[in-house]
Amino acid sequence: MNEKLQVYSDKMTKAYDFLLSDYQTIRAGRANPHVLDKIKVDYYGTPTPLQQVGNISVPEARMIQIAPWEKNLVKEIEKAILASDIGITPSNDGTVIRLVFPELTEERRKELSKEVKKKGEDAKVAIRNIRRDGNDALKKLAGGEISEDGIKDLEDELQKMTDKFIKDIDKAVEDKTKDIMTV
């Protein structure tokens, strides 16, 4: 790959990776500890990621268990989970917090599928914007250090890169939708 296009390839990779990490936070009926990735707990006045204040485990297919390292964090963790948008009410026995994931209804599965498709479309828009920026930058090089044919070749290469990422995004959307719709 041409080094002039490397920066755009890196940006496209970041956009694609962001989509995949975003998809991990969408629950598909099974307990997935990644739904807790964005939750921050007030730890002595500092917003701290939940993973850094306790041990997270999945003892059953539809349950996540959080064992805080300090007993006084149970209430703070519960508060943070309730304030988040995961839609699950935590229960605790004084030392451990449990999140029980209900079976997803057909309606909720369809809502999640729409959300997955929207996030996929947003990622495609980001990829296309990166391509546009790349093409604009290449046009500025025209007539200078690179010939018109060289610019055309680089634009073609950038388009192929864009097509590859769009195809990868479509596959990720399809896989996640299938995952959500599988009962």
Tens of pLDDT along the chain (183 residues)? 677 789 999 999 999 999 988 887 776 667 778 778 888 888 888 888 888 888 888 888 788 898 988 888 888 888 888 888 777 788 888 888 898 887 778 888 888 889 899 999 999 999 999 999 998 888 887 767 778 888 888 899 999 999 999 999 999 999 988 888 876
Question: Is there a contact between 169 and 16 (Cβ–Cβ < 8 Å)?
Answer: yes
SS3 label, residue 113: helix
| Predicted TM-score (pTM) of this structure | 0.71
Where do the domains of the chain lie, and which CATH numbers do they carry? 3-24+105-181 (1.10.132.20), 33-100 (3.30.1360.40)
SS3 label, residue 46: strand
Of 126, 107, 138, 129, give the one whose Cα is nearest residue 169. Answer: 126
Residue type, 101: F
Tokens of 70: 């300090």
